[in-house]
A and B are shown apart, each in its own frame.
Chain A
Amino acid sequence: MSALLRSRAFKRGAIQIGFLVLLVGLIIAAAVVGRTNILSQGMATGFGFLEQTTGWTLSFSVIEIGPRSTYTRMLLAGILNTLAVGLLTLVLASLLGLIIALMRVSTNTPMKIVGGTYIELFRNVPVILQVLFWYALLTHTPSPRNAINFGDIAFFSNRGLTLPVPALSGWDVILLALGVVALSVAFRKLAYRFDFRQRVFGCIAAFVALFSILILTGRAPDMPLISVPELKGLRFVGGFTLKPEFTALLIGLVLFGASYIGEIIRGGLLSVDKGKLEAGAALGLSHSQVNRFIRIPLAFRAMLPALSNQYVWLMKGTTVGIVIGYPDYFAVVSTSINQSGQTLELLALLMIGFVIINYSLGFAMNVLNERLKLKGRN
């Protein structure tokens, strides 16, 4: 009996060790072949190139960048570009998805038809084709001189969407962000003194006050409060221009993402047990109270896992931006590979970057999930 047990344990151990040896052997073989191939092609190895200047630049970047920036900074710009378009997509797609879901669960038939058609149209076409379509549409719009004019303040042209923005400096933005954090902490501490509506209005009022103080004190004396775009010669001066690449990628991802998120939210809303809503109504809660205290929290819990999958997917989906020349992390890495030849190192950085982005997103959603989980018997 003990001999049999030992032989079984031996067999299990042998299989696992064999598997490990095979795996390690394959990795070593790949490394050896890779090394000889790289050496025979005369390519450099190591991460020293990260300190070198690139000599090329990106068409769009959220941080200051130029041909004299190092590869490190260029890669950082790529990650930030990915995050910029990705996070904005998550927010906007969630909002649009919520609207579509509410349209689909309403009793109003025309609204249901529009919501249903939206989902079928945008979900069944590849996102890359949608992005290409919006990009073609944006670049076929008139030149700045004949731009589509929204009341002389916003313009739509083949350079992108030009909007008026408050004239804030970088420091003002940082101060504003700190202020918002401080405010939300303060309101959390005071939460028990006020009801929900008072807290929301308080937050908005404090934010507006902070914003006005900043805008009145933080700007240069001769600067206008709000920078309005103006046509000077062949281009716009002032305001802020959303580049066509950014706008097309954003529109494509938001419309596509909203169709999936809309279905997830609808599933969540429909999953709420009808009896719970009726119980709330029987306790004398109003329609909006039932929605706020029962339906939305329960639905939110039900849809959170699917939603976090979808968010991770959308974050990864930003890589299709390369097809219209949006310099996201993938595009920056692939240009760097072409320019520097450091294929393996850059590919490793690419993968690490995406694994970190996805794990942090997944981690944030898990924390949210834990916080929202029903306490007690579950």
Chain B
Amino acid sequence: MAIEASLPPAAQTGIAAWLRKHFFSTWYDAILSLVFLALIFWVVSGIWSWGLRDAIWSVEDREACGHGAGACWAVIQDRHRLILFGLYPYEEHWRSTLACLAVIMTMILSCVPLFWTVWRLPILWIVGFGTFVLLMRGGFAGLPLVTTEQWGGLSLTIFIFSAVFVLGMPLAVTLAFARRSSLPVIAKATGIFIDVFRSLPLLTILFAAAVVVPLVLPDWLQGDKLGRVIIGFALFFAAYQAEIIRAGLQSIPDGQVEAAVSLNMPFWSQVVDIQLPQAFRNTLPSTINQAVITFKETSIVTIIGFFEVMASGNAVVGTGEWGQQYVEVYLFLAFIYFIFVFGLSRYGAWLETRMRLGHG
């Protein structure tokens, strides 16, 4: 039986082959490509004409807002101070700005491997976060005192996020070790605590911290509402982060700890020099993921009456004067969150590839 001659296979390289593979491999593929290309074109051109070409940027021609076809970014120009700083005294905004920059610098620095030791990282955070609180609160060296009730906007969001981290991390480490404890009572109690906190919505915990905890605390222990809410938030964060750290501790080979024991290393040295660095390194991607989730969840404190960036943005829409510009305001808020979260998650992805390559 003769074998029929067949055509040579189509070219596998070059623009035509690339187009065929990625756009037109079958007839329905071609249709889908055209549909989705049309969709992309429609969205991009819509964003271009609405958001940029026809947009109104300055407050002077505010009368035109809402009548034209384009976005009215004047609302952001008019109200950005409210969105970023909330009710913080107007003349003191520079302090809030500096304080936020200090914490953001701390966040960036803690992404640098140079600081990844058990001592440097906490010290860095205590310094950065301490600067933030001192600058925001004032009350020394001629700086007027600004109470936490007046904190608001993006600076409050950043404060809550970093405070939850500063308090929650040591708590999480403690919980993780307590859950692995060889003392059954402590391990069980920690397990129940973690499970209960993980099965409750964050909102119910914050609500309990704000409204119910004062009922069961003597007056001298109540502190202010923001402090209680942050403690509740930190406990919630710690319950999740503890499980991540526990997974990290479990992934350390037994030999590592056995070697330390045979060298007669003291317990604290085992924890600080051997277990924690490995546990953190192994779980960096999940930890960053948890940070991303926490940053987004700070928006929930809006519901129990704090004026963080989402609440202050929402207030701009709610006051009526700019009520029709809700799309612009919400997009601006989304943009703020997007920058922080996207930056963090990109960094996480970069770390993951770097560690997979073995440079970590």
Contact = CB atoms under 8 A, between A and B. Distances in A.
B196 A124 contact: no
Interface string A311-349: 010001101101100000010001001000001100100
A108 B33 contact: yes
Contact of A37 (B40, B201, B215, B338): B215
A334 B207 contact: yes
Nearest to B36: A110
Contacts of B17: none
A344 B189 CA distance: 22
A355 interface: yes
Contacts of A319: 201, 203-204
A34 B330 contact: no
A322 B21 contact: no
A354 B204 contact: yes
Interface size bracket, B side: 35 or more
B39 A128 contact: no
B204 A16 contact: no
B32 interface: yes
B273 interface: no
B185 A114 contact: no
B10 to A, nearest CB: 16
Contacts of B22: 107-109
Contact of B341 (A16, A124, A140): A124
Given A23-B189, A107-B21, A128-B300, A343 B183 contact: no
Contact of B211 (A124, A137, A337, A351): A337
Interface centre among B216, B297, B338 (most CB of A within 10 A): B216
B279 interface: no
Nearest to A110: B36
A15 interface: yes
A343 B300 CA distance: 21
B184 interface: yes
A20 B185 CA distance: 8
B221 to A, nearest CB: 9
Contacts of B204: 319, 330, 347, 350-351, 354
Interface in B201-222: 201-204, 207-208, 211-212, 214-218
B330 A133 contact: yes
Contact of B310 (A34, A38, A128, A322): A128
A320 B208 contact: no
Contact of B185 (A19, A38, A129, A334): A19
B333 A129 contact: yes
Interface string B337-359: 11001100100000000000000
Contacts of B278: none
B314 interface: yes
A120 B36 contact: no
B177 interface: no
B250 interface: no
Interface in A89-139: 107-111, 113-114, 120-121, 124-129, 132-133, 136-137
A350 B314 CA distance: 28
A332 B296 CA distance: 25
Interface string A1-44: 00000000000100110011001000000110110011000000
A140 B215 contact: no
B342 A124 contact: yes
Most A CB within 10 A of own CB, among B25, B310, B330: B330
A358 interface: yes
A137 B328 CA distance: 12
A359 interface: yes
A359 B217 contact: no
Contacts of A124: 292, 296, 337-338, 341-342, 345
B338 A136 contact: no
Nearest to B295: A126
B296 A126 contact: yes
B259 interface: no
A12 B183 contact: yes
B29 interface: yes
B302 A109 contact: no
Contacts of B185: 16, 19-20
A131 B186 CA distance: 41
Nearest to B297: A126
Contacts of B29: 107-108
Given A110-B37, A120-B342, A126-B297, A16 B183 contact: yes
Interface string B15-53: 000000111010001001100110110000000000000
Contacts of A113: 36, 40
A343 B211 contact: yes
B33 A109 contact: yes
B200 A351 contact: yes
Contacts of A330: 201, 203-204, 207
B252 to A, nearest CB: 22
Nearest to A103: B36
Interface pairs A-B: 8 shortest CB-CB: A110-B36, A316-B201, A34-B216, A16-B185, A126-B299, A30-B216, A358-B199, A109-B22
Interface of B: 21-23, 25, 29, 32-33, 36-37, 39-40, 182-186, 189, 196, 199-204, 207-208, 211-212, 214-218, 292, 296-297, 299-300, 302-303, 310, 314, 317, 324, 326-327, 330, 333-334, 337-338, 341-342, 345
25 contacts: A15-B183, A19-B185, A34-B216, A38-B215, A108-B25, A110-B23, A110-B37, A111-B33, A125-B338, A126-B337, A129-B330, A133-B326, A136-B327, A137-B326, A312-B199, A317-B201, A322-B303, A323-B302, A330-B203, A343-B215, A347-B204, A347-B212, A351-B200, A351-B204, A355-B196
Interface of A: 12, 15-16, 19-20, 23, 30-31, 33-34, 37-38, 107-111, 113-114, 120-121, 124-129, 132-133, 136-137, 140, 312, 316-317, 319-320, 322-323, 330, 334, 337, 343-344, 347, 350-351, 354-355, 358-359
Given A114-B36, A320-B303, 16 more contacts: A23-B189, A125-B337, A126-B337, A127-B296, A136-B326, A136-B330, A320-B300, A323-B302, A334-B207, A343-B211, A347-B208, A351-B196, A351-B200, A354-B199, A355-B196, A355-B200
